[in-house]
């Protein structure tokens, strides 16, 4: 993959995530899970390196834009309680 340049992360809350997986279905499932919570740039293709197993995918994630909450918040337990 191309190197990450500073312009990709010009503001706080922006992430570049490189994902590696066994196959397209695996990395697209990860991409979809992230996209359900945060705004992402979704890609429809993966990258394969000649002679290397698996595939890779690059995501651009904006943590400033929460789209939905994946699960209800869990109240932290005080130390020593259950």
For residue 36, the enclosing domain spans: 12-66
Asked if residue 81 is part of any domain, the answer here is no
Confidence tier at 76 by pLDDT (50, 70, 90): very low
Asked if residue 74 is part of any domain, the answer here is no
Confidence tier at 80 by pLDDT (50, 70, 90): low
Asked if residue 62 is part of any domain, the answer here is yes
Q: In what order do the strands lie in the sheet with 14-21?
A: 14-21, 55-66, 38-41
The DSSP annotation for 19-45 comes to EEESSHHHHHHHHHHHHTTEEEE--S-
Count CB atoms within 10 A of the CB of residue 41.
12
How far is Cα 8 from Cα 1, in angstroms, rounded to an integer?
14
Asked if residue 5 is part of any domain, the answer here is no
Asked if residue 76 is part of any domain, the answer here is no
In this predicted model, what pLDDT tens digit does every residue of 4-38 receive, in sequence order? 555 656 678 888 888 899 999 999 999 988 888 88
Asked if residue 77 is part of any domain, the answer here is no
Asked if residue 58 is part of any domain, the answer here is yes
Asked if residue 31 is part of any domain, the answer here is yes
pLDDT score, position 2? 60
Evaluate if pTM is beyond 0.75: no
If one counts the domains in the chain, the total is 1
pLDDT score, position 6? 57
How far is Cα 57 from Cα 70, in angstroms, rounded to an integer?
22
């Amino acid at each position: 993959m191309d190197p990450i340049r500073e312009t990709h992360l010009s503001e706080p809350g922006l992430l570049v995530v490189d994902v590696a997986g066994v196959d397209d279905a695996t990395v697209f499932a990860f991409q979809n899970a992230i996209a359900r919570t945060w705004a992402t740039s979704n890609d429809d293709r993966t990258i394969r390196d000649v002679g290397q197993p698996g595939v890779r995918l690059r995501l651009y994630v904006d943590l400033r834009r929460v789209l939905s909450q994946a699960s209800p918040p869990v109240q932290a337990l005080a130390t020593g309680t259950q």
